[in-house]
Amino acid sequence: MALPRARVRSWVAVTKTAHRRCSTEGTRRPRSLASGNLSAALYVHWPYCEKRCSYCNFNKYIPRSVDEAAMERCLVTETRTLLQLSRVQRVESVFFGGGTPSLASPHTVAAVLEAVAQETHLPADSEVTLEVNPTSAPGSRLVAFGAAGVNRLSIGLQSLNDTELQLLGRTHSASDALRTLAEARHLFPGRVSVDLMLGLPAQQVGPWLRQLQELLLHCDDHVSLYQLSLERGTALFTQVQQGTLPAPDPDLAAEMYLEGRIVLRESGFRQYEVSNFARNGALSTHNWTYWQCGQYLGVGPGAHGRFIPQGAGVHTREARIQTLEPDNWMKEVMLFGHGTRKRTPLGKLELLEEVLAMGLRTDMGITHQHWQYFEPQVTLWDVFGASMEVEELLEQDLLLLDDRGLRCSWEGLAVLDSLLLTLLPQLHKAWQQRCPSPVPGG
C-alpha cells in the first residue's frame, strides 16, 4: 500500500461529522470520563460578529444591534435547563465561542458562569476559554473578561500577513494581532492560544513558514493550525469558483502542515492532536473532552452538545443541536427554557465510531481502558488485531496497537483521514460479526 498523502482536515470538518495544565495529561483519563456521566464540558455560542469573513460558514450573524440583556437572560436560562437535564455534578471547562464572543459584555460571561456555579460544581481550576478577535482597541475588556472568570484566551490571529488578512476579510491587521497577543499574554500568562490558518489561495510554503517562525517569537504555549476549508456559500468559495482567485493547492497545504509541525516540535511544542500543539503542558481541557468523547453541553444558537439527558429519564447519549437563528432561538428559550432543535440518540456503533475517529486525533490515541469504558465486551485487539489491512498500517509504522492501546504514530497523525478509511470499515465488520442482526445505528 502506498503511503497516504498528508491531508489535514480543519477541525471544522470534524465537528460537522461528529486541558489540563500538566505534561502527564496525555497519559491519564480525563476527569470527565473518570467520573462517568457526572461531569461535562460546556460550550456557549455567541452568534454575532462585526463583519462577515470571506471564508467563514459558522453560525454567525451581523446584526444592526444586539439586545444583550435578552441574550444574556436566554443564555443563562438555557445553561440552567441543560445542566438540570443532564444532571451533571461538575463542569470542568467552559468555552465561549462564536461568532465573536469577545464582542459580548463581560457581564454576560459572568452571568453564565454564575449560573453554572449555582447549578453544579464549577471547580476553581476549571478551564474557562474565551475566543478573542484581535482588534485595534486597547485591552481593558480583556481585564474585565478575566474578572468575569475567563482564565484562557483563544485568539483568532489567522495570519501575520496584511494582504492575507484582507483576503480573509478580517477587520484586524498583523500588528493588531501581535498587540492583542502581547496584551493577552501579559494578563493570562501560559493560558493563551492562537489560531493560524494555512493553505490559503496563492499562499506559498516558504513565506507561510516565515510567518510561523515570526509567530513563535511572540506566542504563548498553545498554537492551533487550521487548514482553510473552502466552504460553499462563502465569498472566498465564489471567488475561487469564478476564477478571480486561484483554488488553494492541497499539496502545498500538506507541505505547510508537515513542515509546520516540525518547526513547532523543534520549538518544544507537543503535537497532542492533529491541529493542536502545546508546550509546558498547556493542552486544552475543553477540546480534550470532545476528542475523548466526554459529555459536553451546547448552549446558544447553533451550539452542539453530546450528553445523556438523565433528567428526562433517558439513558442514551444524544447528539443535540440548538436552533440556529438567534431570534428564533431566543423565542424558544423564553417559551420552553431551551432552544434544542434536534436530538439524535446515538447507537452503540455510532458512539464507537466517534470514540475511534476522535480518539485517534490525539497523540495518546485510544487506550484499552478508554475503549473498555465504551465497549466492555469487544476489545481493541478483537476489532483490529486480526485484520490484514490494519496489519499493513502497523507495518508501515503509521499506526500502533500494543499494550497501551491503538494510536497513530507521528507520521500517521498527519494522514489520519486515510487511516480511518481502513479502520472504520473494520470496526463495522467486527460489529456485524458480533451482532449480525441489521439494527439501524448499532
Ligand X SMILES: C[S@@+](CC[C@H](N)C(=O)[O-])C[C@H]1O[C@@H](n2cnc3c(N)ncnc32)[C@H](O)[C@@H]1O
Q: Is 208 in the site for ligand X (CB under 6 A)?
A: no
CB 337 within 8 A of CB 84: no
What cell does 405 get?
492501546
CB 182 within 8 A of CB 174: no
C-alpha 9/C-alpha 292 separation (Å) is 18
Residue number, 231 or 417, with CB nearest to ligand X: 231
Q: Tell me how far, at minimum, the Cβ of 151 lies from ligand SF4, in Å.
A: 22
- Beta-carbon neighbour count of residue 267 at 10 Å? 15
Selected binder of ligand X within 302, 326, 339, 405 (CB under 6 A)? 302
Q: Tell me how far, at minimum, the Cβ of 423 lies from ligand SF4, in Å.
A: 32
Q: Tell me how far, at minimum, the Cβ of 58 lies from ligand X, in Å.
A: 4
**Which of ligand X, ligand SF4, none has residue 185 at its interface (CB below 5 to 8 Å by kind)?**
none
Give the up-direction half-sphere exposure of residue 397: CA atoms within 13 A in the CB hemisphere. 2
Q: What is the DSSP string of 201-240?
A: TT--HHHHHHHHHHHHHH--SEEEEEE----TTSHHHHHH
Q: Tell me how far, at minimum, the Cβ of 7 lies from ligand SF4, in Å.
A: 22
Mark residues 57-76: x for contact with ligand X by CB under 6 A, - for none: -x------------------
Q: Is 300 in the site for ligand SF4 (CB under 6 A)?
A: no
Tell me the pairing of strands 276-278 and 222-227. Answer: antiparallel
Q: Is 248 in the site for ligand X (CB under 6 A)?
A: no
Residue number, 62 or 335, with CB nearest to ligand SF4: 62
CB 128 within 8 A of CB 113: yes
CA 229 to chain CA centroid, Å, is 15
Window 332-391: residues binding ligand X (CB under 6 A): none
**Distances in Å between the alpha carbon of 206 and those of 74, 199, 210, 378?**
47, 12, 6, 47
Selected binder of ligand X within 4, 30, 47, 98 (CB under 6 A)? 98
**Which of ligand SF4, ligand X, none has residue 303 at its interface (CB below 5 to 8 Å by kind)?**
ligand X
Selected binder of ligand SF4 within 32, 37, 39, 100 (CB under 6 A)? 100
Residue number, 49 or 83, with CB nearest to ligand SF4: 49
Spatial CB neighbours of 325, under 8 Å, sequence gap ≥ 6: 61, 301
Q: Is 133 in the site for ligand SF4 (CB under 6 A)?
A: yes
Q: Is 37 in the site for ligand SF4 (CB under 6 A)?
A: no
Number of residues located near ligand SF4, criterion CB under 6 A: 11
Spatial CB neighbours of 180, under 8 Å, sequence gap ≥ 6: 132, 134, 135, 139, 155, 172
What cell does 110 get?
459572568
Residues in contact with ligand SF4 by the rule CB under 6 A: 49, 52-53, 56, 58, 60, 98-100, 133, 156
Residues in contact with ligand X by the rule CB under 6 A: 10-12, 15, 43, 45, 55-56, 58, 95, 97-98, 100, 129, 131, 133, 154, 156, 158, 193, 195, 197, 222, 224, 226, 228-229, 231, 284, 286-287, 290, 298, 302-304
